Homo-oligomer: A and B are copies of this chain.
Amino acid sequence: MEKVTVFDLIERMSALLRSEERKKCTEFGLQSVHLQILDYLSRCNKYSDTPAALANYLGMTRGTVSQTLLLLEKKAYVNKTTDTTDRRVVHLSLLPNGKAMLQQARPTELFDQAADLLVSDKLSNYDEMLVSMLTALQKSNKSQSFGICKTCQYFTVSPDVHLCGLTREALTEDDSGKICQEHRAL
């Protein structure tokens, strides 16, 4: 049963990261949801920085998200602005405070130390394999994949510009590396 063990290992790593995250959170007086929200906001593109997308991504109700955002706003971690074209929609953005917190709370040392222990010339292989595993997971999670923009079936790259085939909008290099709620895996 190779199938099981491979993803068991992923699950184990995930558990390890979660517990590490929890410790960091209590250290900084946060809840792990807060950190997840900050993390998401740092990674999502302009189509996906709304409360509704957050609720979808994290699997929470919109009411709960609204509450949590109030708190994060009070702490000056995030900022709200209403969309200019659709006035129901709110866009969220990370404030400097929030970015700083995220920087501190991510398990950077853990990763760095772990990476040092791995034989470095094997790293490129790891990379490739993990990408295919992640893609496989995202495809299976078909409800809404929340994948990286440039790995989307709607993403097209003309000689000079990146383009989202769904919204027909041009994308910055930066945006195309971020999470999109409209993502459809290839």
- List residues of A whose CB falls within 8 A of some B CB: 2-7, 9-20, 22-23, 25-26, 36, 39-40, 57-60, 109-115, 117-118, 120, 122-127, 129-141, 146
Contact = CB atoms under 8 A, between A and B. Distances in A.
A118 B133 contact: yes
Query: Which label, helix, strand, loop or mixed, suits the secondary structure of the A interface?
Result: helix
Contacts of A130: 6, 9-10, 13
Contacts of A59: 19-20, 22-23, 25-26
B117 A140 contact: yes
Q: How many identical subunits does the complex contain?
A: 2
A126 B140 CA distance: 18
B114 A5 contact: no
A110 to B, nearest CB: 5
26 contacts: A2-B124, A3-B123, A5-B127, A6-B118, A6-B127, A9-B131, A10-B10, A10-B17, A13-B130, A13-B133, A13-B137, A16-B134, A16-B138, A16-B141, A16-B146, A22-B59, A23-B59, A110-B137, A110-B141, A111-B140, A113-B136, A113-B140, A114-B140, A117-B135, A118-B136, A125-B129
A39 B15 contact: yes
Contacts of A138: 16
A118 B136 CA distance: 7
Nearest to A61: B26
A20 B3 CA distance: 19
Nearest to A11: B17
Nearest to A139: B117
A51 B131 CA distance: 37
